[in-house]
Structure formats: C-alpha cells, structure tokens
Structure 1
Amino acid sequence: MDEEEAKEYEKELQRKFGRRQLGTNADRYAEPEPELDSEGEPIVEPEVDLSAFLEKQRISDPQPSSAPPPADDDDDIDTSIAPALGRGPVPNIMKGKIQQVEWDSSLEELSREKAAADATRELKSRFKTQSAKPSFRAPVRPVKEKGEKHYVEAPALPTDEPAKPKSEKEGMEDFLDDLLE
C-alpha cells in the first residue's frame, strides 16, 4: 500500500468508526417547503369529490345503517347456561319438580372417598402453613428482681448411647406432636 491508499483507508475507518457529530431533532419536525407552481402559488392536491360514491352506496344499501339488525331466530341458542356465565336472570327450571335420591352403597363409597380427600387436603394445607412459619419460638425470660440470679436450663444433649427403639406408631406420633407444636 502506498501512502495515498493508506490515507484513504484511514479516512474511511475514521468515517466509519469515528465519533458521530450529533445534531438536534429539529430536522425531524421541519416541514418541507411547499412546491410552487409557475405563478408562485403552492400546489394543492385537488379534493376528491365523494358525493357520487356516497350516493351510489345509499342506492345499493336499502336499509339505513343506524337501524338495529333484524331479530334472529333464537331457537338454536341454548339459554340454560346464561346464569352460569352471569348473563341474564336465573330460570327456575327445577321449580315444582321434586327429585329424591336413593342412598345406596355407591353413594356411601363416594361420600367416604370425598371425606378422605378432604382430610388429606386439610392435612396438606396444615403442613404447608407449618413449613411457612418457623416452628421454634424465642424463649421468654421472666423479669428478674434486682439481685436475684436466674438461670435457664439448657435442653438435654443427645447422648452417645442408643435410645430404646420406638415402634413405628410412636415415631409417627412424636413426629406429628413436634409438627403441631
């Protein structure tokens, strides 16, 4: 590369990667000068006459557009779900009709399953609220009188000797007791 090409290359790089000259946003809002005709008057586009078009529309559309649409046949519309959607009055479909349900073993089984599911749901919600709250509480210390010494007894340390094994039921009871405290 000779010096002239190097200078051209340098100018190109400077133009590409150099600092931009920032101006104002005034050019965004500048309105172009209107084009002038031979007499010096601005050239204005002629207005389009839409009256003929609108007249054709009126002729082809016999109904005025502000009239309500014609009533549709409502036989194909199911209005029984309208109360569930919060639309319209609640129809008294079951009014005057008494139905008696026979209580049998299948309904008894369903009732037991529902009770078991409710109990499980309640237990799970209790566990969730228990885990959200810490199960420990700060020790409350009584106010000591002046000159009185007060000692708090520390909890027992776990021992190295193995404790007597608890049955599975006792272990579960202890777990639930600790959980509910």
Structure 2
Amino acid sequence: MSTQDLFRGSLIRFAAPRPEDADELARFSESYEYLIQVDTENAIPQTPDAYGNAGRANTIEFHLRTLEDDRFIGFVALHSIEWNNQAALVAVGIGDPNERGRGYGIEALRMILRYAFHELNLNRVGLDVISYNEAAYRAYKKAGFIDEGRARSAVLRGGQSYDLIKMGLLRAEWEAMQA
C-alpha cells in the first residue's frame, strides 16, 4: 500500500507541541498585530501556561516546523469539529512577521485540508476571516475557499468596526482542484 505523508510538505511539517513551543506562543501573543490577525477575541498577551498540552474538545492542532532547520513558526488547527456533520473550522497562525509571506501559511492550509478530507473524512471545512486581514483572505482564496457570506461590523478593533467574512470549502470542490 502506498500512502502519502500527511504530515510533511515541501517547506514545513506538522509536529506535536513541545514544551518550549509554549514560550514561543506566549512571545507571539505579545504582538498586538499577531493577535488581531488570528482571533476575534480581545487581544490579551498570554503566559506560556495558557498554551499547555491539555487540548480542547473537538480540536486537532498541529504545530508548524520548518523542514530546513526544524524551527517552530506557528500552528494550524481544525476546531469546532462536528463529527456528525463531517464539518470543521480551520485556523492558522504564523507568529513571527519575518516568517510570513514565505509560503508557510498556504502550505499549512493545503496540508490541513488534505488531512481533513483524507484522514478525518470531513465533507466541509469553513473559516472566518476579518476583512482587514487581506493577506489571509488571499491565502484562503488561493487554497480554494469560497466566500459564503459576511457578518457586517462584527469585529471591533481600535474604535472601528470590520466585517467578518465567512468562507468554506467542500470536499468535492477540493478534490476537483487536485485533479
């Protein structure tokens, strides 16, 4: 039987959390710019303890490490998994601004989609992206996600409101892109 390595791309690999990763994630959380790109929650720096290995229900998270030098650069997660509906939401975060724009995020998306559809047998992967996060929006479009709607003025940042864009990708759409 021939199988494809679902944990390895051409630039990065999926890895289990290491104790030192929590320190790095806490350092990432000290960047307001980083926090407002990855979440709609209040931007609050966290301690390493907040990134413990306890795990969350209905979430599968991988840490991203470079193949070149095994450097920890961020995470990708499937969360809010509804097994009965074969659906999940995806989130990706590249912590260091110097690591962004190098192809790691799009590769992480492509790898997690392959994992979601081939390993977990999901039928749908969705996401929310804040309208000001244009780089993420472009990456999601490049990965095949389709705009499904918009929650107007759903996110407040710095005294301004922004739309929350809803996007999704179905297994059949993803498979057609692979052909």
Q: TM-score, normalised by structure 2?
A: 0.14
Q: Which has the higher strand share?
A: 2
Pick 1 or 2: higher relative contact order, CA cutoff 8 A, min separation 6: 2
Higher share of residues assigned helix: 1
* TM-score, L = length of structure 1: 0.14
* Bigger radius of gyration: 1
